[in-house]
Chain A
């Protein structure tokens, strides 16, 4: 799955929780889940749980703490899919 496809998948996942429609329309690598999409911390947990389900991976606490933007999410998903545990 390339970056563009990953962003499309992420967009589908964050859509129910995003509070800023314009930022959602313009979603890209630099989009910040909290600052741009205005997702609250409780719904950010749901985003992470949905990512786990969609990609069949398990996100640990450290990765959860880092997963604040599309870019970070893509890195984490790619790492987990590749079976690499980047510290």
Chain B
């Protein structure tokens, strides 16, 4: 499956799509980027007068690139004609640095295991300076898409 095919299968759209590019994907991991547009709606309220990217949005970005793209790829290997659905089941993330409006981040995921439909990945997010802004472990269940 090509990176473009995976992007086409993502079930998100603006304003909740947090993958711009999928640079690399294989059986062991994925690499992707996203730029947080300074006009994203949540910056108006997080925080009042001092916009910072919310941790939940950074977590979602890591999950979309590191877990959902990986899940679609791994599922597609064995079920070419079916669409995968990835349900988030657990997250543990440490945050090191803030991400401000307009910043571009790169997410790198490494598969820990994919067994009995459960995908578990270690995921790291870096800013353009190459500094780690957050990292953690994310897992979810990969199943056939619930509905078309």
Contact = CB atoms under 8 A, between A and B. Distances in A.
Q: Please classify how large the interface on chain A is, using the bins under 10, 10 to 19, 20 to 34, 35 or more.
A: 10 to 19
Contact of B89 (A42, A48, A61, A64): A42
Interface of B: 89-90, 113, 115-118, 139-141
B113 A49 contact: yes
Specify the main secondary structure of chain A where it touches its partner.
helix
A40 interface: yes
A57 interface: no
User: DSSP majority for the B interface?
Assistant: strand
Contacts of B115: 45, 49
What 8 A-B pairs have minimum CB-CB distances, sorted nearest first?
A: A42-B89, A45-B118, A45-B116, A64-B116, A42-B141, A42-B118, A45-B115, A48-B116
Contacts of B139: 42
Residue of A41, A43, A48, A64 most packed against chain B (CB within 10 A): A41
A42 B90 contact: yes
19 contacts: A40-B89, A41-B141, A42-B89, A42-B90, A42-B118, A42-B139, A42-B140, A42-B141, A43-B89, A45-B115, A45-B116, A45-B117, A45-B118, A46-B118, A48-B116, A49-B113, A49-B115, A61-B116, A64-B116
Interface string A36-69: 0000111101101100000000000100100000
Given A42-B90, A42-B118, A45-B116, 9 more contacts: A42-B140, A42-B141, A43-B89, A45-B115, A45-B118, A48-B116, A49-B113, A61-B116, A64-B116
